[in-house]
Structure 1
Amino acid sequence: MGRYIAGAVSAMLLIAAGLFIWETVARQDEPPPPAPPPPAVESPDPMEAPEPAGMGPPPPEATELTREQRRFGRYDRDRDGIITRVEMMSSRTNSFRQLDTNGDNYLTFEEWAVRTSERFAGADADGSGTLTPEEFATTRQRRSSSSSSRSRCNC
C-alpha cells in the first residue's frame, strides 16, 4: 500500500515539475518589451555655455551664527529653542574645580548642583523653569579686563 502512495506522490511531483518547466520555456519565447524612445535632443545654442555634466543646483548657503547663538546651541541639546535645567546642568561637568565652595579641593555633586541651580534661577527671569535665548545671554561669563587687554600673537 505504501508503494502506491509513494508512486502517486512521485507522479504528482513530476507533473508539477513538468508544468513549471513548460511555463518557464513559454515565457522565454515571448519577445521582450520595446525599448523606450530616446529623449529628444535640442540643438545647442551657440551663445550659451555648455553646462558641465554632473553639476546640480548650488549647495545651500550656511547662515552665520552669532557667538551667543552658537553658545546657546551647545546647551540646547534637543534643539527645541529653550534650555531646560537638565540641559544646563549636563554641560557644566567640566567646571567642578571652579565651583568648589568650601575649598577642600573636592567638589561634591551637591556643591555643583546648588551653584548651577542658583545660576539657572538667577537667569530665569520669568520663573518658567526654562531659559529663552535672551535669558540665556545673561549667563555668559564676563571677560576680565586683564584678559581683554592681552594682545594675541599673529604668528
Structure 2
Amino acid sequence: MLFMAAGFVIWASDSDADDPIPPAPAAAPLLMAPQKPPTPPAAPEKSREEKRFARYDDNEDGIITRAEMMGSRRGSWERLDANGDNRLDFEEWAITTSEKFAKADADRSCTLNAAEFLTTRRKSKPKPKCEC
C-alpha cells in the first residue's frame, strides 16, 4: 500500500510538469518597420569572349566540338543546297546571287548603276534604344 501511495504522489507531481498548453508568446509591437529582403550577391559579368564561347558550346560541357562549331553554319548551307544532296554546285550557289542581281536591276539593263547596287546591301537589324 505504501508503494501505491508513493506512486500516486510521483504521478501527481509529474502531471503538473507536463502542461499540454504552452505559454502564450510575448505580444509583438503593432507598428513594425517594413523589412527589406536581403540583396542577392551579384553575379560576375561575362566577358565578350565568354559569351561567344557559350553560344557555340551547345551542351554546356565547357568544350566546343567540331560539330558544335560548324552547327552555326548548317542553316545557311541547307538554304543554299536546293536539291538536298549535301553538295553545293555552282548553280545552287549562284542562284541566290543571280536572283539578287535581277531584283536590283530595276531598269532591266543587265547592269547595275550605283543606286541599284546600293539596294543589294545587307539589311542590318536596328539597334534597340536604351531606356536607362
- Specify the TM-score bucket, using the shorter chain as the normaliser: 0.3 to 0.5
Give the number of the structure with larger relative contact order, counting CA–CA contacts within 8 Å between residues 6 or more apart: 1
TM-score, L = length of structure 1: 0.31
